[in-house]
Amino acid sequence: MTYGVKGKNAIVTGAYQGIGKSIALKLASHGVNVLLVDLNPEIHSIVTEEQHQVEGQLFSFVTDLTNSENLTELVEFSKEKFQVIDILVNNAGIMQTKPFLDITEEDWDRVLSINLKSVFLLSQAIVAQMLTQKEGRIINISSIAGRSGRPYSPHYAASKAGIISLTKSMAEAFGKQNIRTNAICPGVILTPMMEEIYEKRRNLGESPEEKFLQTIKLDRLGTPEDVSDTALFLCSDQSSYINGQALNVCGGYEMD
């Protein structure tokens, strides 16, 4: 299948591991030039290890996305490498498992800053450029937690609900300029971050895998590739009439 993305340029945040890495390499395998962004300096090693296996060019940039000055540097770097940014994937995020009454103001501010504020700030900077070219595709990684809430991570759920709302606002604001904005709401995906959550829940006496499989209608946990395949579709010509949507990728865990 021809996706119509070859030669496009993309920024993918939170690209060191898990969903972000999978999306970055999926796009690059179809000829997209990708700037992988992460706070972890090991992000540079991904470019070295993976460049020979993909068709598009890979670049890396280490930064803290919650700092607006850093975002200015990131945008300038991307302009130097690409001239034009066609695709932005806002994936960077963190999750904290903690009882509702134990969450501190600092906990709340940190999760909301990384998961939501950074998405707004980077989107604002990149959309300004996309408007000049009258085309762009933005994908925000939310979560099914943003649809239904989480008692042990309400700040995470709130940030992901905010992403869904922000996605709709961006679609309203920029759709007529041919800038499509959509969100993906992953379910239980086998990533390093999810493994950390599993371990904490095991320490609380739970059996998270069994609990999730009782609810997931496809009777399997998700993989990063399940999400990156959806991201590729949303970047492609095949999704040209999809805008302002939040697509669940969760095996039927959530159906709303």
Q: 153-170 pLDDT, tens per residue?
A: 999 999 999 999 999 999
Identify whether 213 is part of a domain. Answer: no
The predicted pLDDT at position 200 comes to 67
CB 240 within 8 A of CB 5: no
CB 143 within 8 A of CB 185: yes
The values of phi and psi at residue 57, to 5°, are -80, 140
Identify whether 24 is part of a domain. Answer: yes
Tell me the whole-structure pTM to 2 decimals: 0.94
What DSSP element (H or E) covers 11?
Answer: strand 9-13
Identify whether 168 is part of a domain. Answer: yes
The predicted pLDDT at position 2 comes to 80
Identify whether 166 is part of a domain. Answer: yes
Q: Is 253 a catalytic residue?
A: no
Work out the burial of residue 89: count CB atoms within 10 Å of its CB; fewer than 13 is exposed, 13-18 middle, 19 or more buried: buried
The predicted pLDDT at position 207 comes to 65
* Token pair in block for residue 118: 């950074």
| Binned average pLDDT, 10 residues per bin, the chain of 256 residues | 92 97 98 98 96 98 95 95 96 93 97 98 96 97 94 95 98 98 95 74 68 81 96 97 97 86
Catalytic residue among 16, 152, 156, 198: 156
Identify whether 117 is part of a domain. Answer: yes
Q: 62 in helix, strand or coil?
A: strand
- How far apart are the C-alpha atoms of 58 and 245, rounded to whole Å? 28
Q: Provide the number of structural domains found in the chain.
A: 1
Instruction: Output the domain CATH number for residue 151.
Output: 3.40.50.720
Domain that holds residue 84: 9-188+225-249
Identify whether 102 is part of a domain. Answer: yes
Identify whether 220 is part of a domain. Answer: no
Q: Provide the CB-side half-sphere exposure for 4 (13 A, CA).
A: 10
Identify whether 4 is part of a domain. Answer: no
- How far apart are the C-alpha atoms of 117 and 119, rounded to whole Å? 5
CB atoms under 10 Å from CB of 176, counted, come to 8
The predicted pLDDT at position 212 comes to 72
- How far apart are the C-alpha atoms of 112 and 201, rounded to whole Å? 22
